[in-house]
Amino acid sequence: MGAIVALPPARGPHPVGCTDVLVGHSRQGLFLRLFYPCVARPGAAEPLWIPRAEYCGALADAALRRRCCSALLSIAIGSCKVPVSWNEPLKPRSSGYPLIIFSHGLGAFRTLYSSLCSELASWGFVVAALEHRDHSAATTYFCPAEAGTEEWIPFQRVPQGQKEFYFRNKQVHQRAQECVRALRLFQDIAGGRSVPNILPQGWDLSVLKDSLDLTKVAVLGHSFGGVTAVLALVKEPSFRCAVALDAWMFPLENLLYPEVAKPVLFINTEKFQTPESVAKMKRLSSRNSQTRIVTVLGTVHEDQSDFAFLPERLFSLIFGRRGTLSPHKALAITSRAALAFLHRHLELQEDFGQWEQLLEGVGDSVVPDSPFTRSHL
């Protein structure tokens, strides 16, 4: 049976390569998927979208709360591939690529934003999509040196009797710290330190040594990852700006809002945000005049992930009603707004300024600020 999910190919000028990076043998290590401009080669292999069967089961449990759907999900999406080249060589560039650290949402993992990450890579970025180890991923794993097998870290719901804020606040601080550690990893590589990738696939991280411009680093994320990106700005001065897709602002403590001095681009969908959440975003926009809030009309929360490209019936089965805007158009608006914002705040040379009007909420299917509509979720 062929895959019934077709992820869109990236539209930028660079072919996109992809590899997985696993560093360290403990929970304190890092696991990420790297998207990067590559040297194109006919017939290059493409990676699976859902990298292993364990992720299908965990996704069924975390997203649907129905483990029994694991087999159905595996049949429906298990053979889907990402239209990028697996493990191909990095495309050389004398000036160095800017770096983006990407943080996934609650119950997701490193591959579920491949459409956006590969789109950004096709415009000349190296994008590191983390898989968080705070029990907010659908599942993830690490490889203890002595065990010889993986140790899995399952998704965890809020324990009974515990206040959700305190549980999620602890997680968001761990997630933001993982974003900082990911940046440290690339700083170590750029400094010439040997960083072994313990996965047996042979992509040598040292090729990045002279290929990154670490004066131009941003942090992006969706939902729980969106607020993670905001907090990462507080924890790490090297992050120059953040793009927060439909940020779930709930887990961030109030005393931190005055600390977010860097600019943030909030790109919201029409059906997820609440007045309380948008009020928190506006606290940040009053702190920094370069912070922007825009809403993409006709979209729901999952439209900012690869789930937007699920067939109608499967999407409805998992998430309920979907948005009215074409997912291809939603991806184009989101990526172009992000590129214009990164162009402005990372001081890039490329012509991403052509999409700057999106930052003011000007354009088809985009408006400034956020309609106060509550999620059906």
pLDDT of the chain, 377 residues: tens digit per residue:
445 788 999 999 999 999 999 999 999 999 999 999 999 888 999 999 999 989 988 988 886 655 556 666 777 788 899 999 999 999 999 899 999 999 999 999 999 999 999 999 999 999 999 999 999 999 999 999 877 789 999 999 999 999 999 999 999 999 999 999 999 999 999 999 999 899 887 688 999 999 999 999 999 999 999 999 999 999 999 999 999 999 999 999 999 999 999 999 999 999 899 999 999 999 998 889 999 999 999 999 999 999 999 988 888 877 888 899 999 999 999 999 999 999 999 999 888 999 999 999 999 999 998 765 434 33
**Which domains does the chain possess?**
16-368 (3.40.50.1820)
pLDDT of residue 37: 98
The strand pairing partners of 33, in sequence order, are 20, 129
Determine how many CB atoms are found less than 10 A away from the CB of residue 149.
8
Residues listed for the chain: 377
Rounded distance between C-alpha atoms, residue 211 and residue 231, angstroms: 27
Q: In Å, how far from its chain's centre is CA 356?
A: 22
pLDDT of residue 350: 85
Beta strands in 9-118 (DSSP E): 16-23, 30-37, 85-86, 97-103
CB-based contact 25:143 (threshold 8 Å):
yes
Dihedral sign of CA atoms 198, 9, 348, 284 in order: negative
CB-based contact 233:177 (threshold 8 Å):
no
pLDDT of residue 66: 57
Record the pTM. Answer: 0.96
13 phi/psi in degrees, rounded to 5:
-75, -15
- Catalytic site positions: 223, 246, 301
pLDDT of residue 239: 98
